[in-house]
Amino acid sequence: MTQTVLPIDRNSVADLSASRNEPSWMTDLRLNALELAGTLELPKLEKTRIDRWNLERYGSYKQPQPLQKLEHLPDAAQLLLGKEAEPVNLLVQRDSGVVWKHLSEELAQQGVIFTDLETAVREHGDLVRSHFMTAVKADENRLTALHAALWNGGVFLYVPRNVEVKVPLQAIFISEDPDATFAPHVLIVADANSSVVYVDNYLSEDGKEFVHNGVVEVIAKPGARVQFATVNNLGKGSTGITYRRALLDRDARIEWIIGELNSGNAIADTNSLLQGSGASSDAKVISVGTGDQKLNLTTRANHFGKSTPSDMITRAVMKDEATAIINGITKIEKGATGANGQQTERVLMLSAKARGDANPILLIDEDDVKAGHAASVGQVNPEHLYYLMSRGIPKAEAHKLIVYGFLAPVIHEIPLENVKQQLQALVERKLGQ
């Protein structure tokens, strides 16, 4: 068996942990994860040979410099901030660490914690330790193990019991130095009967080769409600790896709103584990592939509790020679009576060389349930095009309207208006290339 060559050694991991004054439990976790990474295989993905991808460019940890003014951020990041002179409830990570964070006094007085995960490990250690890497396990595969060993910056969001956060909290993750490790970890803990809306964006310029290995964990306690919106816009040359998981207790709910707009190769696995009775999940995902991109996007719902509804919609547009594997997996476990899992995957191909696979999968181990799926792969419907042209709309404009209408169900769900506008502009730019 060929020995795995890892992007970092044990001494470097120990030094990294020590430089951030991490408690011993986190140092041990990192070192154990690194050891695991040397023994585990890469994930086996449907029709995607990620062993041929550039998975070596992790770079090294580089201490970031604090940001003095938000005006110093790249233009693409500033567009996400809206018109507020001093945005609140905002966190910004630049390369290996967080350079800006601010939480309103009102939310802080209610007990809300919104800070970088590095700080949370030191100041809220017991809370972080009981949830960190519990939804996404370090021993799942080599990529998750490497993330557990190398993670940096990140977000820790905690909402106390019965607290309703009525304004969205926002994070922006920017990769500028391709030699700096970029592996943020987002950990959201919503206590019983709380609610929160969280939005983040991932940005980098074209032409910079690096690996983004990110993990999102959402822990929703009984009756909690979490809306999670994200737009991934890493440039050409990037390799994007993202695992998202939500653990849902009794009557908890997660709403995923995901824009997979990276310009490099990317894999994403978004999973809702409906563990408690009455838990529910709604996932809406869009993706646009251009050039010779290779995308593998999986959305899952695992039903364990009784009377647990889930719904997932994925819509992808492929042009040029882009390839997408779109998987929707609904798993209903024995005993999950009354579960209702629905899913739809649709791929629209805009060129003869583009490829898209839509794979709906239902795995059902219980009789008293409902489940359904729909999937389609095709080109723009000529009848729809003809209808719009018959109303006086030029062919090119009619074609554009159909494509935008195809993606609209997700774009319109973005909870921040400035982020919604940026997503719309990003889609238009990718489709116009």
For 6-45, the pLDDT digits (tens) are 888 899 999 999 989 999 999 999 999 999 999 999 999 9
For the beta sheet containing 155-159, the strands, ordered from the edge strand earlier in sequence to the opposite edge, are 113-115, 155-159, 185-190, 210-220, 238-248, 265-274, 294-303, 323-332, 355-364
- For the cut 70, the answer to whether the pLDDT of residue 83 exceeds it is no
For 214-245, the pLDDT digits (tens) are 999 999 999 999 999 999 999 999 999 999 99
- For the cut 90, the answer to whether the pLDDT of residue 384 exceeds it is no
- For the cut 90, the answer to whether the pLDDT of residue 130 exceeds it is yes
pLDDT value of residue 433: 62
Would you place residue 161 in the very low, low, confident or very high pLDDT band (cuts 50, 70, 90)?
A: very high
pLDDT value of residue 396: 80
Residue among 252, 90, 235 at smallest CA distance from 168: 90
- For the cut 80, the answer to whether the pLDDT of residue 1 exceeds it is no
- For the cut 80, the answer to whether the pLDDT of residue 86 exceeds it is no
For the beta sheet containing 280-289, the strands, ordered from the edge strand earlier in sequence to the opposite edge, are 97-102, 90-94, 169-175, 195-204, 225-233, 253-260, 280-289, 309-318, 340-349, 370-378
pLDDT value of residue 66: 87
What is the CA angle 302-261-397, rounded to 5? 120
pLDDT value of residue 221: 98
Would you place residue 421 in the very low, low, confident or very high pLDDT band (cuts 50, 70, 90)?
A: confident
- For the cut 50, the answer to whether the pLDDT of residue 178 exceeds it is yes
Instruction: Out of 53-67, 178-192, 330-344, pick the least confident.
Output: 53-67
Tell me the mean pLDDT in the region 261-268.
97
- For the cut 80, the answer to whether the pLDDT of residue 85 exceeds it is no
Would you place residue 141 in the very low, low, confident or very high pLDDT band (cuts 50, 70, 90)?
A: very high
- For the cut 50, the answer to whether the pLDDT of residue 415 exceeds it is yes
pTM as predicted: 0.95
Report which of residues 35 and 1 the model is more confident about. Answer: 35
pLDDT value of residue 394: 86
Please classify residue 419 by burial: count the beta carbons closer than 10 Å to its beta carbon, then call 0-12 exposed, 13-18 middle and 19+ buried: buried
Would you place residue 410 in the very low, low, confident or very high pLDDT band (cuts 50, 70, 90)?
A: confident
| Separation CA 366–CA 310 (nearest Å) | 16
pLDDT value of residue 382: 82
Q: Are 203 and 95 in contact (CB under 8 A)?
A: no
Q: Are 361 and 329 in contact (CB under 8 A)?
A: yes
pLDDT value of residue 2: 44
Residue among 257, 322, 256 at smallest CA distance from 288: 322
What average pLDDT does the chain have?
A: 93
pLDDT value of residue 198: 97
